Amino acid sequence: MNSRVSAIASNTFREAVRDRVLYNLIGFAVLMAGAAILVGQISVDIEKLVVINLGLTAVSLFGVIIAIFIGIGLVSKEIDKRTLYTVLSRPVQRWEFILGKFFGLAGTLVVNTICMAAGVFLAMLYVTHKLQPSDASVLAALYFIVLQFLIVTSLALLFSSFSSPLLSAVFAFAVFVIGSFSGDLREFAGAQSGASHWVAMAAARIIPNFSGLNVISMVAHGEPVAANLIFANTAYTFFYAAMVLCAAVLIFERRNLK
Amino acid sequence: MSAIEILGIEKTYSVGFWRKRPKCALKPLHLQVEEGEVFGFLGPNGAGKTTTLKLLMGLMYPTAGTAKILGMEIGDPRMKAQIGFLPEQPYFYDYLTAAELLNYYGRLSGVPAKELPQRIAAVLDRVGLAANGDVQLRKFSKGMLQRAGIAQAILHDPKVIFLDEPMSGLDPMGRREVRDLMSQLKQEGKTVFFSTHILSDAEALCDRVGVIYQGELRAVGSVADLTAKVHGKTELTWQGAIPASLKALSADAKVNGDTARIVIDEAQLDSTIDTLRRERCRLISVNPVRGTLEEYFLQHMNSSNPGSAPLPKSKNIESSQGASA
Amino acid sequence: MKPSRSVTLIASCLLVACFAVSAMLSRAVNGLRPRAAIEDVLYLKSAKTLRWLSLGYTGLMADIYWTRAVQYFGANHFVGAAHFDQLAPLLDITTDLDPKLTVAYQYGASFLSPPPPSGAGLPDQAVAIVEKGIRANPDDWHLYQCLGFIHYLDRKDYAAAHQAFLRGSAIPHAHDSLKLLAGRMAEKSGDIETARIIWMSTYDTTNSSAIKENAATHLVSIQAMEDIAGLEKIVDLYRTQTGHLPASFRDMALANLLPGIPLDPYQEPYVLNSDGHVQVRHPEKYKFLERVNPDGSTPAPSAK
């Protein structure tokens, strides 16, 4: 990665940290601790199931919210503060700027997730007193959650490159919600015929496939995650995020910064 | 090779939501700035100064025309490595310290990592922020932010430096500091292109100025030339009383002890001197009172008639300059 | 200039006072609302809507509903009321959201299917839920166990029970009791030994403490029923030998027909009636006690 992209990435990471984004980990820790203690009294005999479901759902939701809230400002904030002008007047290409911002936020989310993963495993340890080898599938679920973050980040960055923070937030949440139903959308498309079939299929393909990245329930029941699913999701995320970033670059390249 | 060559660059927007109307922010601009010059780009707010700078920096794309800086097209990364830019009223990254900010910018400008620390220290010292290198920018005053801005503009030792309203929002001390910095840059042989609507700053610093109004370049030349175009006045002092005929000429005549003084239009200079000689008054001095750019503005800018003021050519520019607006 | 002290004082007192009043009013409002409305609001009727609302986090949503089901059942179970009308929808929704939640199907078998007062008396709904589970998890032997259970105990459909146990026993790692029960369905359906095997099977294979407790309760009753059947046989033997009914267990012991005074599962002596029937001393401790026929079969359940 060239030095300008990594300079922008590390600056973005530093901004997130100094903006105290990582304080969300405190809220998460409190949530996990409370859940671990209470779950045994409320949900009979399925403590581990609930701890994993709750923990992974929280990791996913917290992260998506952070990705959207920071992502929507990645470009617009730099314009408001006029820092973008000082950056682009240097030998920095616009695409390098977009890539750097992406990696900076992605890196922040990865660090955040690693801390949260430790919290989830601690809670699991607390309720079951002993971890088993099959618990490694929880790591696979966490990895898929990180992949989900990469897609959400790229989308938030895309919206940030051309619209205001408020609109970007609305678009990003909308895409997240629809993406979680992508499985249902495909089924719906399959049931249609003619023109509506093609339209629905196209929509189902364009919308990010978050339902494919959600293996939380599976992992909570102790089932393993197939290796070829891991490869497929990794490749999917890479190409999808790359597609979105290309769109972001195309839009941003043409933008007149008034 | 000129430092800056603007060849007909122009910018038109379309505004409005439903029916788009074109709005011209900058009419085709032709301008040249030589190396080592300090060039002031003058105009009231909304005249098109910032638009011009943004077009030169590649932040906006011109509707037509091109420009070259140091002989290279705008957008060329090699060119960008040799220019510095300070935008208007920047906030910068307030969570960074001054040193971290410069480090970031230095990396982006391609300053070798080994040299960065010394460069940063030297530049901070130069702009007077040596003591605040580790203070977060959110704690900086306006004046300090402006100095930090100049620091990032000169960090990589560029040949041409662009400043958009560098004095805006500063108190007199701050303005003095920025002015001194700009003079130093000139002494180092750098080309400085800055925009301002504060005329006194331009008068003090610039070799030449360009006057822009409503998106159109109205005049270019040295300050002296332009103010000479202001219908200047002359001040006459003499010994003796004020002749009656002169009193009629100007109600301004004053007597200080045994010295009388009057300020009259240049046009009336000859007839006034004749009158004083006839009255046998002893002439002490004849001083032209130079018009200021202020007066130039007021005189010329009121006419919203494009092209009414033909570009007075300064004696030091080549006439390879393009046609006027 | 500092903030005015009198304003600070007044505002603080007002804050506390208003909080107290609003808290009391909140309680009053809750008291005024009809109870049923609260419970209806606790869940939406449509699993599909919930699936959409959960944004793909169906596992957690299922757990939340499962928690509701357990709390609901727990509260109603102890109260002894026979209003299980919310249990079926709760179990249905939970299993829609998380088809692999085995314990929910087991609850269906143990508490939805049996007749009141210990269950909701909805065996057909329980069957529907378990069969839905089997479609989603064809390799989970627990579900066939549940199905067989419901068909045998509550619907008395021994052929269907046989089928269920048979299919379940074919699954690798299935519990041995399934094979055993499949066999017994054909020959000895309806007898007490089979019932004991069923409840032992449940007791051994469940992780849920409520289900285990329920199975234990049944087993205690079955134990007593078996004891009584055995004891009454010995009474008959005595009568055959001596020509008259025994006056007490002591007589039977003296006749070397019993090792001592027989004790029930609660360690209390059985009671010998004058007509030769044996009873437990405290019938109220046994929830599922029924008369056992001489051939070992249990009569059709009467509503208790």
Whether C73 contacts C208, CB under 8 Å:
no
C98 touches A: beta carbon within 8 Å: yes
Q: What residues pair up with B40 in beta bridges, in sequence order?
A: B194, B209
Residue A57 pLDDT greater than 90, yes or no? yes
Percent with pLDDT over 70 in chain A: 97
Give C163's contacts (C-beta < 8 A, 6+ positions apart).
none
Whole-number Å distance between alpha carbons of A54 and C26: 30
Q: Is there a single domain that holds both residue C132 and residue C257?
A: no
CATH number at residue C183: 1.25.40.10
Q: Is there a single domain that holds both residue C178 and residue C232?
A: no
Q: With CB atoms and an 8 Å threshold, state whether B80 touches A90.
A: yes
Nearest to A47 by CA among A117, A126, A136, A137: A126
Whole-number Å distance between alpha carbons of C296 and C171: 31
Q: Which residues form the domain of C89?
A: 39-193
Percent with pLDDT over 70 in chain C: 86
Whole-number Å distance between alpha carbons of B177 and A64: 47
Whether B131 contacts B41, CB under 8 Å:
no
Q: Which residue from A minimizes the CA distance to C55?
A: A180
The reported pLDDT for the residue numbered C107 is 86
Do chain A and chain C touch with ≥3 beta carbon pairs under 8 Å? Answer: yes
Note whether residue C26 is domain-resident: no
What mean pLDDT do residues C177-202 have?
81
Whole-number Å distance between alpha carbons of A172 and B124: 41
A8 touches B: beta carbon within 8 Å: yes
What mean pLDDT do residues C31-36 have?
63
Neighbours of chain B (3+ CB pairs under 8 A): A
B80 touches A: beta carbon within 8 Å: yes
Q: Is there a single domain that holds both residue C70 and residue C124?
A: yes
Q: Which residue from A minimizes the CA distance to C53?
A: A177
Residue C130 pLDDT greater than 80, yes or no? yes
Q: Is there a single domain that holds both residue C175 and residue C260?
A: no
CB count within 10 Å of CB A130 equals 7
Q: Is there a single domain that holds both residue C59 and residue C186?
A: yes
DSSP annotation of B188 reads T
The reported pLDDT for the residue numbered B16 is 75
The reported pLDDT for the residue numbered B316 is 39
Look at A189-193, B97-101, B299-303, C194-198 and tell me which has the smallest mean pLDDT: B299-303
Whole-number Å distance between alpha carbons of C304 and C292: 16
Give me B295's structure tokens.
Answer: 């007066």
Q: With CB atoms and an 8 Å threshold, state whether B60 touches A256.
A: yes
Whether B11 contacts B26, CB under 8 Å:
yes
Give A143's contacts (C-beta < 8 A, 6+ positions apart).
A230
Least Cα separation, residue A86 to chain B (angstroms): 6
Give B65's contacts (C-beta < 8 A, 6+ positions apart).
B6, B7, B8, B9, B10, B28, B29
Whether A249 contacts A98, CB under 8 Å:
yes
Whole-number Å distance between alpha carbons of A200 and B317: 66
The reported pLDDT for the residue numbered C2 is 74
State which of C193, C214, C243 marks the end of a domain. C193
B57 touches A: beta carbon within 8 Å: yes
Residue A253 pLDDT greater than 50, yes or no? yes
Residue C201 pLDDT greater than 90, yes or no? no
SS3 state at C158: helix
Sorting pLDDT into bands at 50, 70 and 90, what band is B222?
Answer: confident
Residue from the list A54, A180, A210 with its beta carbon closest to the beta carbon of C60: A54
DSSP annotation of C269 reads B
Look at A125-139, B221-235, C132-146 and tell me which has the smallest mean pLDDT: B221-235
DSSP annotation of B194 reads E
Residue B277 pLDDT greater than 60, yes or no? yes
- pLDDT 10s digits, B153-191: 999 999 999 999 998 878 888 888 888 999 999 999 999
Q: With CB atoms and an 8 Å threshold, state whether C60 touches A43.
A: no
Q: With CB atoms and an 8 Å threshold, state whether A18 touches B59.
A: no
Q: What are phi and psi of A69, to 5 degrees?
A: -65, -35
Q: Is there a single domain that holds both residue C184 and residue C232?
A: no
The reported pLDDT for the residue numbered C43 is 59
Give me B313's structure tokens.
Answer: 């050519």
Residue A179 pLDDT greater than 50, yes or no? yes
Note whether residue C2 is domain-resident: no
Whole-number Å distance between alpha carbons of C3 and C6: 9
Whole-number Å distance between alpha carbons of C176 and C196: 14
Sorting pLDDT into bands at 50, 70 and 90, what band is A181?
Answer: confident
Strand ranges across the sheet with B191-196: B83-86, B160-164, B191-196, B38-42, B208-213, B216-222
Q: Is there a single domain that holds both residue C255 and residue C146?
A: no
What mean pLDDT do residues B222-241 have?
75
Note whether residue C29 is domain-resident: no
User: Which residues from chain B sit within 8 angstroms of residue A84, using beta carbons?
Assistant: 59
Whole-number Å distance between alpha carbons of C35 and C50: 23
Note whether residue C4 is domain-resident: no
Give me B9's structure tokens.
Answer: 């660059």
Whether A38 contacts A130, CB under 8 Å:
no
Sorting pLDDT into bands at 50, 70 and 90, what band is A195?
Answer: confident
C209 touches A: beta carbon within 8 Å: yes
Residue from the list A43, A181, A217 with its beta carbon closest to the beta carbon of C67: A43
Q: What are phi and psi of B285, to 5 degrees?
A: -150, 155
SS3 state at C157: coil
- pLDDT 10s digits, C259-285: 888 888 888 888 888 888 888 888 888
The number of distinct structural domains making up chain C is 2
SS3 state at C98: coil
Q: Is there a single domain that holds both residue C159 and residue C246?
A: no
Look at A37-41, A119-123, C40-44, C111-115 and tell me which has the smallest mean pLDDT: C40-44
State which of C141, C173, C193 marks the end of a domain. C193
Q: Is there a single domain that holds both residue C152 and residue C73?
A: yes
User: Which residues from chain A sit within 8 angstroms of residue C207, using beta carbons?
Assistant: 45
The reported pLDDT for the residue numbered C77 is 56
Q: Is there a single domain that holds both residue C59 and residue C160?
A: yes
Whole-number Å distance between alpha carbons of B270 and C112: 119
Q: Is there a single domain that holds both residue C186 and residue C254?
A: no
Pure H helices in chain B: 49-57, 77-80, 98-109, 116-126, 142-154, 172-187, 199-205, 223-229, 244-249, 269-278, 293-301
Q: Is there a single domain that holds both residue C70 and residue C117?
A: yes
Read out DSSP for A9-48?
A: HHHHHHHHHHTTGGGHHHHHHHHHHHHHHHHHHHSTT-HH
User: Which residues from chain A sit within 8 angstroms of residue C63, using beta carbons?
Assistant: 43, 46, 49-50, 53-54
Q: State the pTM of this model.
A: 0.80
SS3 state at C62: helix
Whole-number Å distance between alpha carbons of B205 and B163: 13
- pLDDT 10s digits, A113-151: 999 999 999 988 888 888 888 888 999 999 999 999 999
| Cβ under 8 Å to B: A residues 165-184 | none
Q: What are phi and psi of A17, to 5 degrees?
A: -65, -45
Residue from the list A43, A61, A176 with its beta carbon closest to the beta carbon of C63: A43
Give me B246's structure tokens.
Answer: 């002169």
Residue B100 pLDDT greater than 50, yes or no? yes
Q: With CB atoms and an 8 Å threshold, state whether A46 touches C66.
A: yes
Note whether residue C217 is domain-resident: no
Percent with pLDDT over 90 in chain B: 39
State which of C173, C193, C213 marks the end of a domain. C193
Q: Which residue from A minimizes the CA distance to B76?
A: A91
Read out DSSP for B259-317?
A: EEEEEEEGGGHHHHHHHHHHTT-EEEEEEEEPPPHHHHHHHHHT---TT-S--PPPTTS
* Dihedral sign, Cα of residue A147, residue A148, residue A152, residue A155: positive
Q: With CB atoms and an 8 Å threshold, state whether B95 touches A18.
A: yes
Domains, chain B, ranges and CATH? 4-82+159-228+293-301 (3.40.50.300), 233-289 (no CATH)
Q: With CB atoms and an 8 Å threshold, state whether A89 touches B91.
A: no
The reported pLDDT for the residue numbered B230 is 63
What mean pLDDT do residues B241-246 have?
76
Note whether residue C73 is domain-resident: yes
Q: Cα torsion for B237, B243, B246, B250, to the nearest 10°?
A: 70
Do chain B and chain C touch with ≥3 beta carbon pairs under 8 Å? Answer: no
- pLDDT 10s digits, B109-154: 999 999 999 999 999 999 989 998 899 999 998 888 999 999 999 9
Whole-number Å distance between alpha carbons of C136 and C129: 11
